[in-house]
Every structure is written in structure tokens, then in C-alpha cells.
Structure 1
Amino acid sequence: MTYFIDRRPNAKHKSAVNRQRFLERYRKHIKRSVEEAVNRRSITDMERGEKISIPAKDISEPVFQHGQGGARNIVSPGNKEFLQGDKIRRPGGQGGGGGAGEGGASNQGEGSDEFAFTLSREEFLEFVFDGLELPHLQRKPLKSLEEIKMVRAGLARDGVPSRISITRSMREAYARRIAMRAPIKRALKEAQEALAAEERKDPVLRNPARIVELKAEIERLEKRIEAVPFIDTYDLRYHQLAAQPQPSSQAVMFCVMDVSGSMTQNHKDIAKRFFLLLYLFLEKHYEKVELVFVRHHTAAREVNEEEFFYSRETGGTIVSSALNLVNKIIEKRYPAGQWNLYVAQASDGDNWDDDSNICRDLLVKQLMPQLQYYAYVEITPHDHQSLWHEYETVAAQFPERFAMRQIVDAGDIYPVFRELFKRRLSQER
């Protein structure tokens, strides 16, 4: 028998197993509290956990107790006041004192506040990004043989005990026992039949020596059957493992942010918070996702993470410069046959005259045939401009792989993010 012992270190006076059971049981309530917490706090403050509360009534446990009335003919252990047959006075009123939530002041009864506890950073992010994933993530052809997986490659008679195949070993042992016992059992049956025939003969014709000889033969054959081992080292079979190259599910996310003069500081803060939420989501759920940061005004540049979030460079607006740069980077470093390609773009929708048409053509003819998914968020409380309308044309041609949403204020960031990256049931695997 195999025993599994959980040796993960726990905090003092805490049980990891019980905590996980609690989080799973009240997932619905905790998720609602987490969503309220995300809307309250700054997205830039997502790195720490959160203290959340659950109404006490939602964590009450069902209990069984005796109701009013009914015939009871027992006396509970420890009772020193009543004897069998005594009648107990019915309690007056409507039960005990009022608890929390009952109106009116009272000099009796006890209440309970909401149940509060603290989620760790990992637990908090788990609830924040629950049900989200990169859309249309696919297995791509091999880029190299670096990603391998050990898979079973048949059975062998030699191996280590940890890889023994119990089912196959027992099957081999059973087949061996049948094969070794079969001729002995046939000889035993013949001897038993001969003994029975000899004993049925008339006492005058019966041969005592023959009877003794048959009984000795039967005893010898029965011992031979018992001597056949239940399992032998010859029966053991072991699983063999072989290194098998695996298709790579590597992906790259292009973060494209408009930093032109029309983007106010509030717009830029919202865009940075959106991309920070995206960064945390990818860091939490995926190991092989690269990020490419692109800032643009009249010209686009690939920058590092620090410059992407904190540079103060600004200028006019030509969105097509960013799309052209993304396309060049894909051709140079991330061929579509080997990478899952994603783009997330944030802009206020303002663009140079006639450039929106160029953006539409770039997307339809060059980018979208290569991309798995394109997410566009427009940060503006005003009416949409030409860029939005041209993107609507792209969305109509690629409804499953092009999504666009509007963000008015910081409170829209998290709901829009969940809508863009929610898990799709029909997604290809």
C-alpha cells in the first residue's frame, strides 16, 4: 500500500489542507469579495494579498437537533434534576435572544460580525484570474528539441521497483501458474480416476499395492501443484520511459500603448494599469510567454519594461507605425509557424488623418492571418473616432480573433479585462 504524506511547511497554527478545502467550499463568496476588492484598490497594488470578509450566515454549518414536541422516553446522561416520566415545561417566547441583524436594542443575546480572513498574494491572484486564459492557444511545430517529455515506451523484464507494472506482472504470473499446473493437474485427475476405479472393484479383485501406489502418486502431484510459486521474478514487468519531443505551446504577447499628446495623464495611467494586469495574468498562468513592449506616437519603438511603464516621451499619433513595427518583429524573431502570437493595444482612438485606413489594411492583410488574438481597448469617455470604426471592419472579418472594448474610467479596467480574456468553451486545444 502507498502512503502520501504532505510535508509542505505550514504557517504556525494553520493547516494548508484545511485552508484549501475552505477556499474551495466558499469559492463563490470569496470570488465576489475579491472582485469588490479589485474595484476598490489600485491595480498597481495587485502584488499583495487582500483581507476579505464573508457574511457569517454564509459559513454556517448544518446541524441536527431535536425540535419542539414529540414523545421522548429517555433521560440524558449527567441529568441530576429530572426522572423518567417527568414533564418538562415548554420554553416561553420565540427562543433565545436576537442575534446580529435583528432590529431593536436588547440587553441579552449575542451577535456575530462578518467572518474576515486574509488571502495570500498567490491565493488573491488565483481568484482574480480565475476562468481566464489566452484565447486559441495552439500547439506549434517543433522549433527545437529542447522541450521533451518522458513517455512510456512498452514493458521490459528489467527495471526499478518504482516503475513496476502491477497489472501486467500479475497477468504474467497467472499465465505462468496456469501453464505449469496444467500437465500436473491432468496427471492428478488421471491418478484420482484410477484410484476411484480400483476402489470400486470387488475386494477379491482389488490390488492393495496398486492403491498404495496411486495414493502416493496423488500426494506427490498435489505437493508439486502447491510448490508452484504465486509470483516469480520471471513474471515481473517494468514500464520503460523514452524521451519524446513535444510540440511547443510558446507564445508572445505584444503590448502596444499609445503615448501621443492626445493621451492625457489619466488615459496613460489607465493604459498602464491595464497592461500591468495583463502582465500579472501572464506571469501567474503561463511559463513560456514572452512580452514585447511597443510605445508609439508618430513613430514606434520597441522598449524594455521600465521604459514602457515610466517613460515620459510623447508626440503626435500615427498608429500604423506601431502595427508595422509589430509585423517586422514577427517576421524577424517570432515566425507564426512556431509561435502563438497575441497583441494587446491601448489607445484613446485619436489618429492621424487617413492613417486609420492604413491600420485596417495592415491588420486584415498582414497581421490577423498570423495572430491568434488581437485585443483593442479604447480609453475615452467621448464618441468613437475613425480608428474604432475601421477596427469594427476588422472585427467583422475576424469575429473570433479580434475583440475591442471601451474603457471610460479606472473602474472599467477589471471587467473589460475579464471580458477580453475569459475562457471560451469552443476554443481549440
Structure 2
Amino acid sequence: EILSFKPRRAGFAATGSPTNINVGRTMRNSHGRRIALRRPKQEELDAVAEQLAILEAEPQSAAPARQRIAALREELERLERRRKRIAYVDPVDIRFNRFDAQPVPNANAVMFCLMDVSGSMGEREKDLAKRFFVLLHLFLKRRYDRTEIVFIRHTHEAQEVDEETFFYNTQSGGTVVSTALEEMHRIIAQRYPSNEWNIYAAQASDGDNFVTDSERCIGLMDGQIMRLCQYFAYVEIIDERESHIFGSTDNGTSLWRAYSVVNQRWPNFQMSRIANAADIYPVFRQLFARQPVLQKSA
């Protein structure tokens, strides 16, 4: 998980960039310092200068008048010297806005877990699929703090469920895989806009599906899902007796053939097969190995 940092106001500092000067706090310090040091105000200088001008305009015959003029001149000079010594704004007055770097998630992430629980998925197939998702769930929870997980189960219809229902409740029915993709797209549109979230998905199925619906899956993946996803992984559960036949070939179920088309078009799509429990971890590592940075398609 990559973190970025944004500046957050954290009080004031005596040093900093000129662009971060806090004028209000600086002038407040300046005013307090001038009061404490009794810096002469401009009004005081103007009053002395006014008195001096009046006396100088009068006839200077009397000695007391000349002494008063001399005293006023001396006072005016003293006030001016004091004003120069006590600056209006001194470097000690200046305060800068202080900013601390606050870590924030560079992007939010959500993982969609799609599992086939139809009648064609026997207990062995469901157990392998659940084992795969348990491993994925543990990986996400331990690796990432801020990743949300959405669980979707489907037969001939799909629904979002909680973690308990996803892993432990039993369900059966016909198979329409496209319903899971439609439900995922609906949830993305409602809660996870692609411009704010990094979207990932993992799907597990035995591959059993109507040919017409598999073609619909291609349309949904090409037209909607893969344009929104950063990464999509598909795991197909196959019979152990067929692993030597289908383990290294593109032949297989209608859903596998459909997703093979998607795999050729989208670099952020990966697919693999699982025949027994020993295959789960190697396949998991293969699917979720570090990937090059991929840009979402427009």
C-alpha cells in the first residue's frame, strides 16, 4: 500500500518560507514588543514637532523661549532615535505557518470476491473455492489496512453477502455467471467510483455455464468490468482426473473459453485452474505476484 502525504496546519514556527509568513501573528508579536519597549508613537513625534514649529514662528527675544526650543529639539531627536532603534517589525516578531506531513492513503482499494455456489459446484469444488478465498482474505487483511472486501455469491442470481454467509451458508441452484458480474458492476456504480477507488476482483467457479451466458460474460467484461478494474483473477475448479487433460490447455468449459478471449484482450486479467488443495497456494502466488503498473482503459 503506497502512502502519500499532504500538509496539515500545525501551529506556528520561527523559521520557514517567506510564502508561509502569518501576517496576523507577526503583527500581533510586533505590537506587543513595541508596547513593552515603549516605542514612541508617530502621534508623539507630531505633537513635539507642532510645538516646536509654533515656538520657532514667534519672536525669539526671551531666553526661556530659546531654552524651550532647544529642549523640544532635543526631545524630538531622542524620540526619532528611539523609533529607529526599536523597529516597527523586527525579525524576532515574524512567525510562519507550520505544516506537518500527514500520511494519507494514495488511493482506496476494494476487492470483489465472486464465488459460484450453484448445484454444479459439489462439496469438493466449494471447499477448494472457499480455501482460495480464505487465503485471499487473510492476505488482504494482513497486508492492507484500508482495503474493503465485497463478497458476492451466485447461482442463477447473485447477491452481496457478509463474510459469515459467504464462507459458511449453503446454497444451491442453477448457474448464470453473468449475474455476479452485473451485481459487481451495480455495486461499483453505487459505492466505488473508479476515479476514487482501485478496484480488484477474484472469481472462483467450476466453469459450468450456458454458452449464451458465457458470451454475455465476454460482453460484460469487455464493455464494463475490465474498464473499471485494476486487476481481475479467475480461478476454475476442475476434477482431479481431468487435471492432466485441461491443466495446460485452453480447451475446457464454456466459461473458460469465454474468459480466454478476455485474457487475450486485457493484460490486467489472469486465469488459472485448481484441481486439489495443493494447487491453491502456487496458483495464488501466480495470480497475485507483483504486477507491472497497468493503466485503466478509457
Q: 1:404 aligns with which of 271, 286, 292?
A: 271
Q: Deviations over 1:385-418 (max 9, x none)?
A: 111011011111102x100000010000000001
Equivalent residue number for residue 157 of structure 1? 14
In the alignment, is the contact (CA less than 8 A) between 1:318 and 1:351 conserved in 2?
yes
TM-score (norm 2): 0.64
Equivalent residue number for residue 186 of structure 2? 328
Q: 1:427 aligns with which of 260, 282, 293?
A: 293
Equivalent residue number for residue 196 of structure 2? 338
Equivalent residue number for residue 262 of structure 2? 394
Runs of 4+ in 1 over 6 A off after TM superposition: none
Equivalent residue number for residue 87 of structure 2? none
Equivalent residue number for residue 316 of structure 1? 174
TM-score (norm 1): 0.45
Equivalent residue number for residue 253 of structure 1? 111
In the alignment, is the contact (CA less than 8 A) between 1:138 and 1:428 conserved in 2?
no
Give the share of equivalent positions with the same residue, in percent.
Answer: 50
Q: 1:415 aligns with which of 279, 282, 297?
A: 282
In the alignment, is the contact (CA less than 8 A) between 2:5 and 2:102 conserved in 1?
yes
Q: Does 1:300 align with 2:158?
A: yes
Equivalent residue number for residue 205 of structure 2? 347
Report the RMSD for the aligned CA atoms in angstroms.
3.2
Alpha-carbon separation, structure 1, partners of 2:160 and 2:231:
20
Q: How many residues align?
A: 211
Q: 1:247 to 1:285 in 2, by over 3 A?
A: closer
Equivalent residue number for residue 269 of structure 1? 127
Give how far 1:297 is off.
Answer: 0.7
Report matched runs for 1:9-408 at 5 Å. 149-150=6-7, 156-157=13-14, 240-242=98-100, 248-381=106-239, 382=242, 383=246, 384-399=252-267, 401-408=268-275
Give how far 1:240 is off.
Answer: 3.1
Alpha-carbon separation, structure 2, partners of 1:277 and 1:352:
29
- If each structure's helix is expressed as a fraction of its own residues, which one has the higher value? 2
Give how far 1:151 is off.
Answer: 6.4
SS in 1 for 2:173: coil
Give how far 1:317 is off.
Answer: 0.6
- If each structure's strand is expressed as a fraction of its own residues, which one has the higher value? 2
Alpha-carbon separation, structure 1, partners of 2:13 and 2:280:
57
Alpha-carbon separation, structure 2, partners of 1:156 and 1:266:
65
Aligned-partner residue type, residue 109 of structure 2: A
Alpha-carbon separation, structure 1, partners of 2:281 and 2:8:
41
